Amino acid sequence: MDGALRIGVLGCSAFGDRSMLPAIRDNPAVRLVAVASRDRARAAAFAEKFRCEPVTGYRNLIRRTDVDAVYVALPNALHHEWARAALEAGKHVLSEKPLAVTVRETVALARLAGERGLVLRENFGFLHHGQHRRVRALLDEGRIGRLRHLEASFCFPPLPDGDVRYRPELGGGALLDVGVYPVRAMQYFLGDDLTVAGAVLRRDPRSGVDVAGGFVAHSADGVIATGNFGFEHGFGSRYRLWGSTGQIIVERAFTPPPWYTPTLRIVSQNHVEELTLPAEHQLNAGLTAFAGAVEAARAHGHDPHHREWAATAVRTAELTARIGEAARRI
Alpha carbon of 215 to those of 107, 193, 199, 261: distances in Å? 24, 16, 4, 30
Annotated catalytic, 91? no
Residue 3, pLDDT score: 86
Q: Is the pLDDT of residue 304 over 90?
A: yes
Buried b (16+ CB within 10 A) or exposed e, 160-193: eeebbbbbeebbbbbbbbbbbbbbbbbbbbbebe
- Closest by CA to 101, choosing from 180, 203, 17, 20, is 180
Range 43-64 average pLDDT: 97
- Whether omega before 75 lies within 30 degrees of 0, making that bond cis, reads no
Split at pLDDT 50, 70, 90, the class of 2 is low
What digits encode the pLDDT tens for the residues 142-184?
A: 999 999 999 999 999 999 998 999 999 999 999 999 999 999 9
Range 287-291 average pLDDT: 98
Residue ranges of domains in the chain: 5-123+300-305, 126-280
* Superfamily grouping for domain 5-123+300-305: NAD(P)-binding Rossmann-like Domain (3.40.50.720)
CA distance 211 to 229: 8
Q: Is the pLDDT of residue 306 over 70?
A: yes
**The domain 126-280: what is its CATH number?**
3.30.360.10
Q: Is the pLDDT of residue 1 over 60?
A: no
Average pLDDT over the chain reads 97
CA distance 215 to 224: 11
Q: Is the alpha carbon torsion for 152, 157, 158, 164 positive or negative?
A: negative
Q: Of these residues, 91, 92, 97, 143, which one is catalytic?
A: 97
pTM of the model: 0.96
What digits encode the pLDDT tens for the residues 72-108?
A: 999 999 999 999 999 999 999 999 999 999 999 999 9
